[in-house]
Structure 1
Amino acid sequence: MSDERSAEPTASEPEPGAKQAAEAERSRASTDPWATPAPRGEPASWAARVRPRPPAAVHAATLWASLATGVLSALLLGEGLGVNLLIVALATSIAAYFAARQAGRRLRPWTWVWAAGGLALLVVPALRDAGWSTFLAVAAALAAGSLALHGSRTWPGILLGSLGLLNSLVLGVGWAWRGVRDRMSHSRARWGTAMRTFAAAAVLLIVFGALFAGADAAFADLLAALTPDVSVADGPWRLLLFLFGIVGALAAAHTAAAPMRWDLLAVRPGKARARWEWALPLIVLNLLFSMFIAVQLAVLLGGYDQVLEKTGLTYAEYARQGFWQLLGATLLTLLVIALALRWAPRTGPRDRTLIRGVLGTLCLLTLVVVAAALRRMDLYVDAYGLTRLRISVAAMELWLGLVIVLIMAAGAFGAQWLPRAVAASAAAAVLAFGLMSPDAMVAERNVQRYESTGKIDVSYFHELSADAAPALDRLPEPLRSCALKGIAEDLAGEDNPWYATSWGQSRAREILAERKIIRPYPCPGDRSYERDRDAYDGEATKTDGEIGPGS
């Protein structure tokens, strides 16, 4: 969401002197109803510039949607995460929409992007059981939702706007209380009628629902499946969830009605350096990158055996060591580019051409380094298998490569869209990462490695979520039972309702029900493995934490 009435200077504008800044601030205050006037002769502080205007009176629909969010949170969020989180987020979005409309704000294309992206990220908990990818998706959804409410477009706006709901947690409650108090003082009779109507509807649902459930067992089962299981013992926990839901909805609505104006934070441009002072170090860095890439091409053409013989490293050590260094080089390159853009002069066409040439070359060479890092990771995975950490850092390296491509495009077509594009690419990367199911990819890759090499680390599978069950089910016994042992133990103690159960958990339960674990074999990682290894149907060999058929 955005508001055309507020002026939004870009971060690249130089800060005027004290007198000019005061005049500019008074001019802005005369045309911007969100502005806080500064004392005559003094420029407004950064806090005054970003402070929101007082929000409009809270809309009745916002209050009802916030109340519905609290009720849904108390009823649905107690057992776990699944589609229930998306349901609660939709109710919160309705509250924010009515608050924004009451404040006169209009939906913009980027608002739709952030809002749709935030809701799409909440599909990940409904599909996947892995807690770590779910956490990333929920955190990214909160950031995207906050950006939708703020309508930020500059680097300060994107960075601070993604955390902007925090300031409304207390302000939103006070804003809603004032609205409820004013409405009740003017329309007590109407509020009384509404309360009586809802009470009558609740009584009728309870009474006739109980009668129909007693009359038909099938209807009773359907009602039990759809109705949340709420007990008196869960009262304090449900109350806490109710407060969490209603406060979160009011914070989102207050932000939609009066967002912080982080885009008005002006970042002073760096002092322009002499052309040789900033360009020469980058040219030397480009030469170093070129030498490294030439060595990589020589290694690729000459083979790894010759390199390993000269360095004394093993195959896996060469791959592992190289990846982490190249990942660090990619991160440092982004920092170098940011500092160069801050200090490089751009007063004439020759300066701008030099910047594009030097930094464009550095970006191209960095993309080759990214490809080399991913190749190193692929070699390491071939040697030791895929893990959560390895797939996570590989995904991060891929995203850093995408950021470099965006920087190159900004150098060619302008950088006004770059902050939002980088943030959107991060959210899209988290969404794709969650939808691809990293735990399932880890299991699939290791099963394929077992089928080709006969080596597998079964004990590591105990750390994976239920998403890995379909791939692990392809293993032969007794490896299958050992691999699914941890998932079976986790699911045995869970009996969550449909709205708190992910699709990955449902698939794992179906697999375990169709093909049960044959018996509790001693598995790698168990204390009794060495003593009772003969219990396996067939021979098994344990070497460096891996087991395989035959010896």
Structure 2
Amino acid sequence: MHGPWPSQSPERWLGPDAPAAPGVVVALLVAAAIGAGTLNVSRPGLGWLLAALAGTAAVVIAGRARVRRTMPPARVALPATDPGRRADRYLWSAATVLLLGAGTIRAAGWLFALCVVTALLTAVLATGGGTSVRALGYLTTIMPAAAARAVPWLARGARTLRRGRTADSPRLALPILLTVALLIVFGALFISADAAFAELITASLPELDGAIVARVLVLFPALTLLLGALAFVRVAPPATADLDEPLRRPVRRTEWLLPVVALDLLFGAFVLVQAAVLFGGAEHVLATAGLTYAEYARSGFWQLLVVTGLTLLVLGVAALTAPRASTTDRLVVRVLLGTLAGLTLLIVASALSRMSLYADVYGLTRLRVLVFACELWLGAVFVMVLVAGVRLRARWLPRAVFGTAVLALLTLVAVNPDALIARHNLNEDRIDTAYLGQLSADAVPELAEAPAELRGCLLQGPAAGLRAHPDGWQDLNLARVQARAILDGQTDVIRCPYP
């Protein structure tokens, strides 16, 4: 189970050739126990940050464990996995912790769900490396197999831990049991000796009920499998260097020139038409017969968003298939693809102008904020594409694209979208109290500044949610703490006169 694994490409991923080191087994089990005891999967809070820190520490310990390389050479020659990129691993690890730690300051569930999904991808990159989209896809798909292979790997390591068979493997079971026994005995004595200390310990420990026990029983094995898979890949990552090389299959110049030139002309014509919109703004909408704000923004933004995404795909395919043998070929690639990327940037500006105008008239929603941020990120991606096109070499581009996506999400966390929505919409002539009342605790400081006749209806929803779900220390969340402090001072106004 530790050597060659039967698969379609066993030479790419042999896996570790020795059982898990005792320290790795202990670190993974402790991290899984911490996560199972602190995580509340139904809401963001401090427990997610503690679980992220514990899991990161366990995987780092696994990465530093010595593995004997005694496996026979691969039957085919694959490029060696780049053992460097240590800075990349540290950055992806830090991004994972920051994304999961976002639940400590933000209470919006939709935003934190995006952070959790993105954190899974950054954790895969931190453990397996890889610099291309293909490498990331391969590493993601092997994670279920890594979890299956990690079970016997950890089991063999646990048996080594129990028997203490190697000279560099200390007997850790006895010290751990002794530590637990001493903590129980002396802790019980201190609790009986001082009421304040007893109250502190009692408050810090969760009340054991059926739901908590069931949650721990489910989370502990799940986290053990997840962390085991990450550690298994970190100890012996697959060889992905060949996947990082682009699959270039050049075609004849005319075979790619015709569609790209046609797109350049089409995009240029559209941008010329949009020039009046970009510089005319609201006056253009009002001056156009039969055109309303809703028709202008709603009928065009989504189409332009799709155009932006499809253009990115077209640029990628053209960059891989365009010939570059001669100086003329390289010049044509730079001019035509650079023109297409530059025109797409103007289309991005048009889409952002439409959404900005629409939001000014009809207000912000979570979806509008999210797609606005996505369009800004796509604009940054096209700027990077233009920079990469100068030298026609962009090994750094896939990492930069995903890195800027992570940075955009963290920026969205810092901006606090729910509070931004409340602040913007409260300044509108027409206020949708039903929608604003559904926002999370992140928006309570802004909602509390609403006019007195609306404040009760706006705060009634967040107040009811906070009362129905009190926080333990594992669920500590800065936004909910601040919201409770604000609502405690306005108990007399948290009522809505409307049905």
Counterpart of 1:198 (choices 165, 168, 179) is 179
Is the CA contact (8 Å cut-off) linking 1:157 and 1:261 kept in structure 2?
no
Counterpart of 1:420 (choices 394, 399, 404) is 399
Is the CA contact (8 Å cut-off) linking 1:50 and 1:264 kept in structure 2?
no
Where 1:264 maps in the other structure, the secondary structure is coil
Give the percent of matched residue pairs that are identical in Structure 1 and Structure 2: 36
Q: Does 1:493 align with 2:468?
A: yes
Which string of whole-angstrom CA distances, capped at 9 and with x for unpartnered residues, describes residues 21-43 of structure 1? xxxxxxxxxxxxx99799xxxxx
One-letter amino acid of the structure 2 residue matched with residue 207 of structure 1: A
One-letter amino acid of the structure 2 residue matched with residue 85 of structure 1: W
Cα separation, 2, equivalents of 1:149 and 1:302 = 50
Alpha-carbon deviation of 1:370?
A: 0.6
Distance 1:80 1:289, change over 3 A: closer
Per the alignment, residue 47 of structure 2 pairs with 84
Where 2:19 maps in the other structure, the secondary structure is coil
Cα separation, 1, equivalents of 2:171 and 2:272 = 79
Per the alignment, residue 320 of structure 2 pairs with 342
Alpha-carbon deviation of 1:141?
A: 1.3
Distance 1:123 1:190, change over 3 A: closer
Where 1:313 maps in the other structure, the secondary structure is coil
Counterpart of 1:314 (choices 292, 307, 314) is 292
Counterpart of 1:462 (choices 424, 437, 444) is 437
Per the alignment, residue 425 of structure 2 pairs with 446
Is the CA contact (8 Å cut-off) linking 1:146 and 1:163 kept in structure 2?
no
Alpha-carbon deviation of 1:121?
A: 1.2
Where 2:378 maps in the other structure, the secondary structure is helix
Per the alignment, residue 476 of structure 1 pairs with 451
Listed as ranges, the gaps of 5+ residues in structure 1 are 1-33, 39-44, 529-551
Which string of whole-angstrom CA distances, capped at 9 and with x for unpartnered residues, describes residues 416-443 of structure 1? 1111111111111111112221111111
One-letter amino acid of the structure 2 residue matched with residue 170 of structure 1: A
Q: Does 1:146 align with 2:124?
A: yes
Is the CA contact (8 Å cut-off) linking 1:153 and 1:419 kept in structure 2?
yes
Is the CA contact (8 Å cut-off) linking 2:459 and 2:494 kept in structure 1?
no
Per the alignment, residue 77 of structure 2 pairs with none
Which string of whole-angstrom CA distances, capped at 9 and with x for unpartnered residues, describes residues 410-465 of structure 1? 2124211111111111111111112221111111111122xxx3x20000013211
Matches within 5 A, 1:237-316: 237-265=215-243, 269=247, 271-301=249-279, 304-305=282-283, 310-316=288-294
Cα separation, 1, equivalents of 2:226 and 2:373 = 31
Cα separation, 1, equivalents of 2:158 and 2:214 = 25
Distance 1:301 1:334, change over 3 A: closer
Per the alignment, residue 479 of structure 2 pairs with 504
Distance 1:267 1:199, change over 3 A: closer
One-letter amino acid of the structure 2 residue matched with residue 464 of structure 1: L
Is the CA contact (8 Å cut-off) linking 1:75 and 1:230 kept in structure 2?
no
* Structure having the higher Rg: 1
Distance 1:37 1:221, change over 3 A: closer
Which string of whole-angstrom CA distances, capped at 9 and with x for unpartnered residues, describes residues 357-390 of structure 1? 1111111111111111111001000111000110
Is the CA contact (8 Å cut-off) linking 1:164 and 1:260 kept in structure 2?
no
Distance 1:271 1:170, change over 3 A: closer
Matches within 5 A, 1:29-178: 47-78=9-40, 80-103=43-66, 108-162=86-140, 164-178=142-156
- 367-376 or 270-279, which moves further after superposition? 270-279
Cα separation, 1, equivalents of 2:27 and 2:263 = 56
Per the alignment, residue 544 of structure 1 pairs with none
Counterpart of 1:182 (choices 127, 150, 160) is 160
RMSD over equivalenced CA pairs, Å? 2.7
Distance 1:148 1:271, change over 3 A: closer
Listed as ranges, the gaps of 5+ residues in structure 2 are 68-82
- 151-160 or 356-365, which moves further after superposition? 151-160
Distance 1:517 1:62, change over 3 A: farther
Where 2:427 maps in the other structure, the secondary structure is helix
Q: Does 1:388 align with 2:388?
A: no
One-letter amino acid of the structure 2 residue matched with residue 203 of structure 1: I
- In the superposition, the TM-score normalised over structure 2's length comes to 0.88
- 383-392 or 247-256, which moves further after superposition? 247-256
Is the CA contact (8 Å cut-off) linking 1:56 and 1:103 kept in structure 2?
no
Cα separation, 1, equivalents of 2:105 and 2:474 = 11
One-letter amino acid of the structure 2 residue matched with residue 469 of structure 1: V
- In the superposition, the TM-score normalised over structure 1's length comes to 0.80
Cα separation, 1, equivalents of 2:492 and 2:351 = 40
Alpha-carbon deviation of 1:236?
A: 2.6
Per the alignment, residue 76 of structure 2 pairs with none
Is the CA contact (8 Å cut-off) linking 1:56 and 1:257 kept in structure 2?
no
Distance 1:35 1:294, change over 3 A: farther
Is the CA contact (8 Å cut-off) linking 2:146 and 2:232 kept in structure 1?
yes
Which string of whole-angstrom CA distances, capped at 9 and with x for unpartnered residues, describes residues 297-324 of structure 1? 2245556555555451212221221211
Is the CA contact (8 Å cut-off) linking 1:99 and 1:257 kept in structure 2?
yes
One-letter amino acid of the structure 1 residue matched with residue 485 of structure 2: E
Counterpart of 2:336 (choices 355, 358, 363) is 358
Cα separation, 1, equivalents of 2:26 and 2:170 = 17
* Matched positions, count: 478
Cα separation, 2, equivalents of 1:289 and 1:204 = 76
